[in-house]
Amino acid sequence: MHAERRRRFLETMGRNAVAILIGARPARRSADTDYPFRQDSDFHYLTGFDHPNAIAVLRTDGGPSLTLFVEPRDPEAETWTGYRPGVEGACRDYGADEAHAGHAFLEMLPKLLEGAGRVHHVLGRDAEIDAKLVATLEEFRLRSRRGIVPAETIVDPRAVLHEMRLFKEPGELDIMRQAAAITAEAHREAARVARGGSFEYELEAALGYTFRRRGATGPAYPSIVGGGRNATILHYVTNDQKLEDGSLVLIDAGCELRGYASDVTRTYPVGGSFQGPARAVYEVVLAAQEASLEAARPGATLPQVHEASVRVLTEGLVELGLLEGDPAELVAREAYRPYYMHQTSHWLGLDVHDVGNYSVDGEPRRLEPGMVFTVEPGLYVPADDAGAETRFRGIGVRIEDDVVVTAEGHENLTAAIPKHPEDVEAWMR
Ligand code: GLY
Ligand code: MN
Ligand code: MN
């Protein structure tokens, strides 16, 4: 899988090219404690080598096509921080043609760059490597009379890599389906706890517990559990307030499984039944989400998916009395924005806001089979919105699914998580 991706990546590099990819470094949380290690997504995509402080060099000039620089085996360090594949493991288990200890990288860089006409490298990640790279190319220039020609161009490899990552392989889709199944179970466990008097963190704990119990790494992004007016804060992650019967609780949570994110929002009625203005707002968002899903098919664009939501949300806002006027005219002047301020979709994959260009030649790109994205309209009535009827203030609703474009339309990866009011209510019972 990784070897096949490297083959495709190498094909695009052209002859006499060298690519340098830098893996993630440990990140300090506080004092002497690090965050749990997470490999850089591009590095993982091409190598599957999920250990800290690694560097990969790919080349098309006839030398070894994959050289890995890794932390060498060290029994004493491994007693503290765990197994390292080391130099031998890098070749044996990760398909490296050659491997070296990481500390040899800077010293070996001139040798690695000799003869390369193009260098694929992300500038700005590591100042020391950038400086050595630039100094080496300068040195080659000074020695050019002796036949050493410095590379003419430094190319950002992400353009190609991110285009590759945008189109998911069948194996990636299998993982994303499994991630969706785990996320579905986690939402059900959290919804069970959504009663008056429960705290938001109890729902967050049910999500996290289910993710881990089913073998996922954990949440793909900090879980959002917003009860009542907290649902109107888009990235609310404090999750420490008490839920009230008759209100709503918005849960935006998805697991990361083998590197892949799921990203699902449901808005549940605390106590188990949708009531009054909350139900009315909910039904508008649900209709908008269904309209957007309808638009999610090959040949369409994400702005079209977004426009479908905007149209239905704006009509709904007029019916609810939150906006006044002709819906088409309100859409034209974006009058919905105080209540719907974000986009409807983003790419999804190894990163929750995944890579891939949203436009091509200045035009929104057309959807093609294998692309995965979210569909997540919402309505958020600020608690202090003097222009809104009191009964609507502080209501926030979002409904988010993950879809993959297919030849015929799309597959909704997260369809198993109920969203029709009766289904949600039955599920919660
Ligand atoms: N959970 C972040 C998002 O929905 O985009
Ligand atoms: Mn989300
Ligand atoms: Mn999302």
> Mapped to the 3 state alphabet, what secondary structure does the chain carry?
CHHHHHHHHHHHHCCCEEEEEECCCCCEEECCEECCCCCCHHHHHHHCCCCCCCEEEEECCCCCCEEEEECCCCHHHHHHHCCCCHHHHHHHHHCCCEEEEHHHHHHHHHHHHCCCCEEEECCCCCHHHHHHHHHHHHHHHHCHHHCCCCCCEEECCHHHHHHHHHECCHHHHHHHHHHHHHHHHHHHHHHHCCCCCCEHHHHHHHHHHHHHHCCCCEECCCCEEEEHHHHHCCCCCCCCCECCCCCEEEEECCEEECCEECCCEEEEECCCCCCHHHHHHHHHHHHHHHHHHHHCCCCCEHHHHHHHHHHHHHHHHHHHCCCCCCHHHHHHCCCCCCCCCCCCCCECCCCCCCCCCCEECCEECECCCCEEEEECCEEECCCCCCCCCHHHCCCEEECEEEEEECCCCEEECCCCCCCCHHHHHHHHC
Alpha carbon 301 to its chain centroid, in Å, reads 19
The sign of the CA dihedral 28, 29, 34, 36 is negative
Question: Using an 8 Å Cβ cutoff, are 176 and 402 in contact?
Answer: yes
Q: Is 263 a catalytic residue?
A: yes
Which is the closest atom of ligand 1 to the Cα of 398? 4
Tens digit of each residue's pLDDT (9 = 90 or more) over 209-240:
999 999 999 999 999 999 999 999 999 999 99
For position 400, what pLDDT does the model report? 99
| Cβ–Cβ < 8 Å for 400, 417 | no
* Distance of alpha carbon 324 from alpha carbon 327, whole angstroms: 8
What are the residues facing 363 on neighbouring strands? 360
Residues of the chain below pLDDT 70: none
**pLDDT of 407:** 98
Q: How many CB atoms lie within 10 A of CB 90?
A: 28
Q: Choose one of 207, 221, 340 to mutate for the ligand 1 pocket test, by most ligand atoms within 8 angstroms of C-beta.
A: 221
* Structural domains of the chain sorted by starting position, each given as residue range(s) with its CATH number in brackets: 2-164 (3.40.350.10), 167-428 (3.90.230.10)
Q: Cβ distance 339 to 317 under 8 Å?
A: yes
Residue 371: its pLDDT value, please?
98
Tokens of 209: 């517990």
Whole-number Å distance, alpha carbon 61 to ligand 1 midpoint, is 42
pLDDT for 115? 87
Which residue's alpha carbon is nearest to atom 5 within ligand 1? 353
| Distance from C-alpha of 227 to C-alpha of 200, rounded to nearest angstrom | 7
What pLDDT, on the 0 to 100 scale, is given for residue 147? Answer: 82
**Can you tell me the distance from the alpha carbon of 390 to that of 388, in angstroms, rounded to the nearest whole number?**
6
Q: What local confidence, expressed as pLDDT, does residue 182 receive?
A: 99
As a whole number of angstroms, the distance between CA 324 and CA 320 comes to 9
Q: Please say if 51 is a catalytic residue.
A: no
Tell me the C-alpha distance between 416 and 178, whole Å. 12
Of the residues 15, 145, 235, 333, only one is catalytic, namely 235
User: Which residues have any ligand 1 atom within 6 Å of their CB?
Assistant: 221, 252, 263, 346, 352, 376, 400
The catalytic residue among 172, 204, 256, 400 is 400
Which value, to the nearest 10 degrees, does the dihedral of the CA atoms of residues 83, 205, 355, 370 take?
A: 100
Mutate which of 252, 348, 373 for ligand 1? The one with the most ligand atoms within 8 Å of its CB, which is: 252
Q: How confident is the model at residue 62, as a pLDDT?
A: 82
Q: Are 110 and 104 in contact (CB under 8 A)?
A: no
Give, in order, the Cα–Cα distances in Å from 138 to each of 22, 96, 111, 132: 22, 29, 14, 10
Kindly report the protein residue whose alpha carbon is nearest to atom 3 of ligand 1: 263
